[in-house]
Amino acid sequence: MDYNVCAGHLQPIIQQSRESNKRELVIPRWGLVAFYTKELSDIKDPSTIKTRAESTTKDPTYLA
């Protein structure tokens, strides 16, 4: 088991199912999803991994 997971990698996890209350194995894609994202299918790559420090003050992804 590797605990060092980077954005964009697939890492299997065990979670509790909301419907059946049983444990299930899922393979999510790790990364930051911007608050203005309408559909998860619109996310093509974890572009936030390549962000420069000076752009974080202007990019709406990082503004709270």
Say if residue 39 is in the same domain as residue 14: no
pLDDT of residue 64: 65
Q: Considering its fold, how many domains does the chain have in total?
A: 2
- Find residue 24's DSSP bridge partners: 15
- Which two structure tokens, joined as six digits, stand for 16? 């509790």
pLDDT of residue 23: 96
Q: How confident is the model at residue 58 (pLDDT cuts 50, 70, 90)?
A: confident
**Angle at Cα 15 formed by Cα 45 and Cα 28, nearest 5°?**
10
Are 31 and 8 in contact, with CB atoms under 8 Å apart?
yes
Are 41 and 24 found together in one domain? Answer: no
Give me the domain span that covers residue 55.
32-64
Count Cβ atoms below 10 Å from residue 45 Cβ, excluding itself.
11
pLDDT, tens digit, for every residue of 2-53?
A: 677 777 778 889 999 989 999 999 998 777 777 777 887 777 665 666 677 8
pLDDT at 16: 95
Q: What is the pLDDT of residue 3?
A: 73
